Amino acid sequence: MLKAERVIHIQETLERLYPKTPVPLNHRDPYTLLVAVLLSAQCTDARVNQITPLLFEKADNPHDMAKLPLETIHAIIRPCGLAPMKSKGIAGLSRILVEKYDGEVPADMTALEALPAVGHKTASVVMSQAFGVPAFPVDTHIHRLAQRWGLSSGKNVVQTEKDLKRLFPREKWNALHLQIIFYGREYCTARGCNGTVCPLCRELYPNRKKPVVTRK
């Protein structure tokens, strides 16, 4: 199967399996999504969804969060891991949003990436899922699947993002980001598939015998 054929088959399969793409992180607005995505780094969405209600009960907007003691934020989010960095990031970005943006999350990639503890992937998720701006956030899971499916040979998520944006229509990016995540969790997990097991891997490469080793 040629790459162009693989791209079409992947897109059609994912749209059939996941016609709806709800954001797996519970949130109410751009700010609560931003905080939830920040907390999801090296943490499961399920765990984040357990913690955010406790945090947002104390403060669910930048104004209130900026007034919350750092120790309180740290204690609440500790189960998500990386609590020292994440708590400082949440407190810091909340203060900046109040001081510079009147408490609103800016719908601008550069402005988001300038916030404490907000990297390109987090900013991309907020732009795509909170504001509907086409983006293709790539984490290690999407990076792994893109390599198993022969869509990218990039050594990092930056190159993989460029490759995926080039291959798929811009208007499909936001949904595809979530569809690939959903598929990876259900069928093509880190340990459950090595490029030869799940339905898509077998369909795309029926003659593949050796596991695909992800380039990092």
In a domain, 199, yes or no: yes
Tell me what percent of the residues of the chain surpass a pLDDT of 90: 96
Cα separation, 98 vs 170, in Å, equals 33
| Inter-residue contact 103 to 62 (CB < 8 Å) | yes
Tens of pLDDT along 184-199? 999 999 889 999 999 9
Q: What is the pLDDT of residue 1?
A: 87
Which residue matches tokens 């798929």?
Answer: 168
In this structure, what token pair is assigned to residue 121? Answer: 């992937």
Clarify whether residues 51 and 115 are in a common domain.
yes
Q: What is the CATH number of the domain that holds 39?
A: 1.10.340.30
In a domain, 69, yes or no: yes
Q: Which of 129, 161, 190 is the last residue of a domain?
A: 129
Q: Output the CA torsion sign for 7, 160, 44, 77.
A: negative
Q: What is the pLDDT of residue 51?
A: 98
Is 121 noted as a catalytic residue in this protein? yes
pLDDT by residue, tens only, the chain of 216 residues: 899 999 999 999 999 999 999 999 999 999 999 999 999 999 999 999 999 999 999 999 999 999 999 999 999 999 999 999 999 999 999 999 999 999 999 999 999 999 999 999 999 999 999 999 999 999 999 999 999 999 999 899 999 999 999 999 999 999 999 999 999 999 999 889 999 999 999 999 999 999 998 877
Q: If you compute the radius of gyration of the chain from its CA atoms, what whole number of angstroms results? A: 18
Q: Which of 86, 121, 162, 163 is catalytic?
A: 121
Clarify whether residues 194 and 178 are in a common domain.
yes
Tell me, yes or no, if the pTM score tops 0.85: yes
Clarify whether residues 69 and 37 are in a common domain.
yes
Domain interval for residue 119: 30-129
Tens of pLDDT along 84-100? 999 999 999 999 999 99
Clarify whether residues 158 and 185 are in a common domain.
yes
Cα separation, 105 vs 29, in Å, equals 9
Q: Which of 77, 97, 129 is the last residue of a domain?
A: 129
Q: Which of 96, 129, 162 is the last residue of a domain?
A: 129
For the beta carbon of residue 104, count every other beta carbon within 10 angstroms.
14
Clarify whether residues 74 and 122 are in a common domain.
yes
Q: What is the pLDDT of residue 215?
A: 79
Q: Which of 3, 60, 88, 139 is catalytic?
A: 139
Clarify whether residues 51 and 68 are in a common domain.
yes
Is 60 noted as a catalytic residue in this protein? no
Clarify whether residues 156 and 199 are in a common domain.
yes
Q: How many domains does the chain have?
A: 2
| Inter-residue contact 96 to 116 (CB < 8 Å) | yes
Clarify whether residues 34 and 125 are in a common domain.
yes
